[in-house]
């Protein structure tokens, strides 16, 4: 082997300083990779829940944003609330694939999100916003029409509450079983169109309309998509 080919072989075999295993060509640190993975898995990365990943995200923001852009994803960061999430790139310059899926919500899901958002905005100036399950449910009972059985309506409320906890992860247990902390991410995943639609639905019911459709629309970051890292729609019931 010539001297030139030996040098070329050494260059080819040399692993980057950031390599985590043999053959790894990645350039991000381990924590930054984990932050990137958490963003793609969704629905969001919380600085309060994962401080090490949050620090890595801020330190490597440009590199992580670049890798997300390569997947047609946009990075949204709320530095005050300390959370970040990804959403599909929205542009008229080209036809981009839908990388993350929209979570279709029931009417009660959407109404509950709006109630949680209102409670968050009303109380966040004082710090963490912790509310009781029955406090939330009580505000939603205005949407039960005479044709809807009370026990059935309560089942729907409990189902939506479970979705808020386990699927969208916008509320987190806080002490007793029926007390939760509202995540600040709620501010961004409910948009103005949904607020107007729910207000119109409430007025319709108040005027004597029948029960609303189960289809409450979809919700996500900035009124776009709940990140679930696939292009399929999902119906939450």
Supply the pLDDT for residue 215.
46
Pick from 236, 218, 113, 229: nearest CA to 167: 236
Supply the pLDDT for residue 168.
86
Average pLDDT rounded to a whole number, residues 187-192:
72
Supply the pLDDT for residue 145.
80
Question: 110 near 118, Cβ under 8 Å?
Answer: no
Which pLDDT band, with edges at 50, 70 and 90, does 208 fall under? low
In terms of DSSP bridges, do strands 103-106 and 234-235 run parallel, antiparallel, or are they unpaired? parallel
Which pLDDT band, with edges at 50, 70 and 90, does 25 fall under? very high
Which pLDDT band, with edges at 50, 70 and 90, does 223 fall under? very low
Least confident window among 42-56, 95-109, 125-139: 95-109
Average pLDDT rounded to a whole number, residues 72-90:
91
The CATH number of domain 103-235, selected from 3.40.50, 1.10.10, 3.20.20, 1.25.40? 1.10.10
User: Please, what is the Cα angle at 43 between 78 and 76, to 5 degrees?
Assistant: 30
- Mean pLDDT over each residue of the chain, to the nearest integer: 80
Residues of the chain with CATH 1.10.10: 26-98, 103-235
Q: Which fold has domain 26-98?
A: Arc Repressor Mutant, subunit A (1.10.10)
The C-alpha atoms of residue 222 and residue 191 are separated, in whole angstroms, by: 6
115-164 pLDDT tens trace: 999 999 898 888 889 999 999 999 999 888 887 889 999 999 999 999 99
The C-alpha atoms of residue 214 and residue 31 are separated, in whole angstroms, by: 41
The C-alpha atoms of residue 105 and residue 227 are separated, in whole angstroms, by: 14
The C-alpha atoms of residue 186 and residue 130 are separated, in whole angstroms, by: 14
- Of residues 16 and 166, the one with the higher pLDDT is 166
Supply the pLDDT for residue 102.
65
């Amino acid at each position: 082997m010539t001297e030139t080919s030996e040098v070329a072989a050494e260059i080819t075999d040399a692993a980057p300083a950031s390599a985590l295993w043999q053959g790894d060509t990645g350039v991000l640190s381990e924590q930054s990779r984990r932050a990137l993975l958490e963003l793609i898995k969704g629905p969001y990365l919380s600085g309060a829940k994962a401080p090490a990943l949050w620090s890595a995200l801020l330190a490597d923001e440009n590199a992580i944003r670049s890798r997300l852009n390569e997947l047609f994803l946009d990075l949204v960061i709320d530095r005050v609330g300390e959370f970040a999430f990804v959403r599909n790139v929205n542009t008229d310059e080209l036809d981009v694939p839908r990388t993350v899926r929209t979570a279709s919500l029931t009417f009660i899901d959407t109404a509950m999100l709006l109630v949680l958002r209102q409670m968050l905005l009303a109380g966040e100036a004082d710090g963490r916003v912790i509310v009781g399950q029955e406090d939330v449910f009580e505000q939603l009972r205005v949407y039960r029409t005479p044709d809807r059985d009370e026990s059935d309506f309560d089942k729907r409320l409990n189902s939506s509450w479970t979705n808020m906890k386990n699927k969208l992860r916008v509320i987190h247990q806080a002490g007793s079983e029926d007390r939760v902390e509202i995540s600040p991410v709620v501010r961004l995943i409910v948009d103005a169109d949904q607020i107007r639609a729910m207000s119109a639905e409430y007025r319709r019911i108040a005027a004597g309309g029948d029960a609303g459709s189960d289809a409450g629309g979809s919700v996500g970051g900035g009124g776009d998509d709940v990140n679930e890292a696939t292009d399929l729609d999902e119906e939450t019931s």
